[in-house]
Structure formats: C-alpha cells, structure tokens
Amino acid sequence: MKVKLRYGKQQFHLLDSRGRVLRDPHKFLTTLRVRGFSLNTIRAYAQDLQHLFSWLHSPGKIKTLTMTNLYDFIDKQRARNGSPRSINRRLNTIGLFFRFVTGKVLPASLPCSGFRARSRDRTLGVHQLPRQNTVRLHVKVPKKLVIPLTGEQVRLLIEQFTRYRDLAICYLMLLCGLRAQEVLNIEKGDIQPVEKMLRVHGKGNKERILPLPEIVCDLVAQYLSFERPPNCGTNVLFVALQGKRRTMPMTIAGLRSLFRGRRCQPGLANIHPHLLRHTFGSTMAARGMSLPILQRIMGHAFPETTMQYVNLSMTDVVEQFRQASKKVAEYYR
C-alpha cells in the first residue's frame, strides 16, 4: 500500500493511496503531540509508521502481526539498505503502535535459553532480579569507530569560514559539543555574555546550562553588531543572511550546506556538522574530563552513549601505546 506523509497545523498525517487520513496513526501521533513530544520526535515516529504501512497491504493487518511478519519486515528494510539502527528504531515504533492499537504487547521476543539477566542491580540495590528468558527482537548493530578531526583539520576548516555567524556556529559545536539542531534553537536571550553562560534547548525539550568560551562570546557579539539584519522578526539567534530567506531563521539544510561546500578541500572530504560534536566529545574524554560531567555537557540521557567517546580517538590510543611500549622495553633491558 502506498502511503504518503503530510504535515499541517503542527501535526503529521499518513494518507492512503486515495488521500484519506489513516485513523489509527492519526490518533497515535496526536497523543504524542498532546504529551508534549517535540516536532522532530513526532516526525520520526510518523516516518517509521510510513515504512510500516507501506509494507503492510492493509491497515487492519497491524492487529495480527506475528514474528514471521516482523522477520519479513526486517528483510524488506535490509533490501532497501536500511541501517541497523534505523531498523531497530522502526521495530520499537511498531511495538509501541501495536500496544496503542491492541492494548497488548507485540510478540516481538525470541526464546533465548542462553541469555541470563543480571543477578543483582548494583546501582539501585542488592536485591535479586528475575531471570529473563527472552530478549527483544532487534538487528545487530555493528560497532563502528568514528575518527574525530585532527588539530590540522580543525584549523583548515576554520580558515574556510569568513563570516562571524559561521565561525560562531562552528565553535559552538567544536568547543561546546552542541548538536546541529541545538545550535539552530538558540535564541538571543539564551546568551548571557556577562556570566559567559549559554542556555541550550536539547532533545526532548530538555534544557541545560553550559559555560560559554570567550571566543564564542566575541564572535556572537560581532555577528550581532555587523551581520545580523536589524529588521529580523524572530528571536532566533542565527538567521539567513542572503537570498529569499534573508532575516528568517536558519534551517538545518542551510547549516549543512556550510560544511558541504568545504568538502572539496583536501582533508575535509567527509566533513559534516555532527563530526564536530564527536571531536568535542573525544577530545574532552582524552584530556581527562570525567564521564558524568561530559555526559551532562553533551546532554546524553544514558552514560553508555558518553562512553563511546573514550574509544573514538585512535591517535591517542597509538600515542599512549608507544609511550607504554618504550617503558616496557627499557624495563626488560
């Protein structure tokens, strides 16, 4: 069944081949909006449901999903080159939607006699935890090593920017670890130049306060004085400076285009905004910042997400390995 995704009045709608709104997805997405989920989160759920109903031949089949159906869904997603993380997210969305429609738990678990749960929860206490005989159906996600930018690459990238706005955006991700959307969400009132603090509106409408490096304060001040048009009808800090969208809030596509235009430079072929956030995390972890502090600064919900930055930089691994090898060699002489 061909399903289209339409946006209107702060709400996403799934339409069938005849242009009719699918009732159950509409109710599900409406509850997300009422519960206060962000627009980006609702869009992600809507896109996952679009994949689901494009795969189903009839909307009513959602109530009769079986394990075999889910395997077929995974196979179709793999055939379309879906990434393991995306497939797992869609499986999770299917489970939530199935429970919303039927009131039951989706039969999406596998018998696993060799799986053994933790015997004790050492974080919350020492009580025994019940044994788990099943695990949730998911696709194995390969662990990929993300190589952060080197100092030379960072200097080369910064040299490519000539506007105060673009330099401020670059440093906010590189020195504060902000996500691209978090940079675009900054309003003029979020900058506190005297205290050198910044209020960040993160994922899930979660706010956090970060210290603001002096270089970023200076760049933002210069951008406001010399580049930002005085007749902007928005409180958003970063706006488009040319074209038809001049004075309007900068979009995620506009931010990405800043980096896309620099990929022709040697050493910057794979540059993208999120790589600057990765570079911040790996650099701070390599320089000894404690993981709880790094987790709070980067706005991670789970410490496991922050732990990945400990193993990001192969440069630091190689350097420390060589230093240790020299000491070992001297010891055995």
247-305 residue pLDDT tens: 999 999 999 998 888 888 888 888 889 999 999 998 888 888 888 898 999 998 888 88
Q: Are 114 and 248 in contact (CB under 8 A)?
A: no
Distance CA 87, CA 78 (A): 8
Q: What is the pLDDT of residue 57?
A: 76
Residue 132 lies in a domain: no
The three-point CA angle 174-239-210 to 5° equals 35
- Regarding whether 294 and 162 lie in a shared domain, the answer is yes
| Domain encompassing residue 285 | 151-317
Residue 78 lies in a domain: yes
- Nearest CA to 175 among 145, 210, 203, 204? 210
* CATH number of the domain bearing residue 209: 1.10.443.10
Q: What is the DSSP string of 193-262?
A: TTTTEEEEE-GGG-EEEEE--HHHHHHHHHHHHHTS-TT----BS-B--SSTTTTSBPPHHHHHHHHHTT
Residue 138 lies in a domain: no
- Regarding whether 290 and 156 lie in a shared domain, the answer is yes
- Regarding whether 206 and 276 lie in a shared domain, the answer is yes
257-270 as b/e: b if 16+ CB within 10 A: ebbeebeeeeebee
- Regarding whether 209 and 108 lie in a shared domain, the answer is no
Residue 287 lies in a domain: yes
- Regarding whether 168 and 31 lie in a shared domain, the answer is no
Q: What's the token pair of residue 21?
A: 């709104």
Q: What is the pLDDT of residue 89?
A: 92
Q: What is the pLDDT of residue 113?
A: 46
Domain count, the chain: 2
Measured from the Cβ of residue 202, the count of other Cβ atoms closer than 10 Å reads 18
- Regarding whether 292 and 163 lie in a shared domain, the answer is yes
Q: What is the pLDDT of residue 135?
A: 56
Q: Which parts of the chain register pLDDT below 70?
A: 1, 9, 107-136, 146, 311-317, 333
- Regarding whether 166 and 82 lie in a shared domain, the answer is no
Residue 52 lies in a domain: yes
Question: Residues 152-180: pLDDT tens digits?
Answer: 999 999 999 999 999 999 999 999 999 99
pTM to 2 decimals?
Answer: 0.74
